[in-house]
Structure 1
Amino acid sequence: MAGFIGKERHALDEKGRLMIPVRFRRELSPESTGRGSTIYLMKAPDGSIELYEPDIWEGMKKSLAVLSDFNPEERLLKTMIYESLDVVAIDRQGRVPFSREFLEHAGIVRDVVIIGADTKMIVWAPERLSLLVMENAERYSSLARRYF
């Protein structure tokens, strides 16, 4: 898999479903494109919604499994992550349904921006993404220097 790369603008349909852009659908694993395919949705702390294929989520789940339920911080992290998680079916047309809870979390009414971020897709309300980029434009170059 080459990974999800790029940015697309889309609109939810009247039932709150997002059509996964063709360029991202091409990158989905075969297990994520057949009948009964699922995708994991997570309410991210930054106000976006992250979409993970099952094989990617399984790797994250293994990382969470080693955290101790007897360590209060580790238990809190697990609780917060699992509270923000859902698994939904991708229909034959490549649409992903979002619950009202997820849409409200992200401030999404109809229009969205989908960012391909290698192993995941990130869904934003356009206004929130624009604000995030604008407020952090000056930090971008220093972050890039620090991590690259």
Structure 2
Amino acid sequence: MVFRGRSKHTLDSKGRLAIPTRFREVLERRGEDCLVVTNHDSCLWVYAKKDWLIIEERAIELPEFDQDVNTYLRYFISGAKECPLKQNRITIPPDLREIAGLDREVMLVGQLKRFEIWDKDRWEEAFQRAKEHFPKASQSLREFGI
């Protein structure tokens, strides 16, 4: 099972986000009750903990004196926070909410192995850009057999 689809949701005043049933089903089938949330570009990327551990295992093998590796580690890896699933919700830490510009209305966007959390307005802008770029992007994916 994978994370798919997109839907609008609301953060409460404490930064809690209800995880939709279709995403919870993916987690339940994998035996997961904890997510790892990190910053990426203009949104947050959310992984099941087991998938995140695979990323960490790969990252630990990267050359530590490479400037791009250090940039990646400082931004993406260091931002990661474990967010346990409690009563079908996670609490997004304030620093991650601030980085992603999350206020109240958010979009959850399935990305197969992970899902994204976007501020609704930022999502609409990003989706418009994706829509414009889609014909070119879909052509380039042919080399991967898609």
TM-score by length of 1: 0.87
Partner residue, 1:31: 31
Partner residue, 1:6: 5
Partner residue, 1:126: 120
Matches within 5 A, 1:85-124: 85-91=80-86, 93-124=87-118
Amino acid at match of 1:74: V
Q: Which moved more, 1:7-16 or 1:72-81?
A: 72-81
Whole-Å separation in 1 of the counterparts to 2:30 and 2:130:
37
Contact 1:48 1:125 in 2 (8 A): yes
Partner residue, 1:43: 39
Unmatched 5+ stretches in structure 2: none
Amino acid at match of 1:16: G
Amino acid at match of 1:114: L
Deviation at 1:30, TM superposition (A): 4.5
- Inter-CA distance 80–106: structure 2 relative to 1 (3 Å threshold): closer
Deviation at 1:74, TM superposition (A): 2.2
Partner residue, 2:48: 53
Whole-Å separation in 2 of the counterparts to 1:43 and 1:80:
7
Partner residue, 1:144: 138
Which of 75, 79, 98 is equivalent to 1:80? 75
Identity across the alignment (%):
21
Aligned Cα root-mean-square deviation (Å): 1.5
TM-score by length of 2: 0.88
Q: Does 1:62 align with 2:57?
A: yes
Q: Does 1:135 align with 2:134?
A: no
Amino acid at match of 2:126: L
Unmatched 5+ stretches in structure 1: none
Whole-Å separation in 1 of the counterparts to 2:36 and 2:103:
21
Paired positions, count: 141
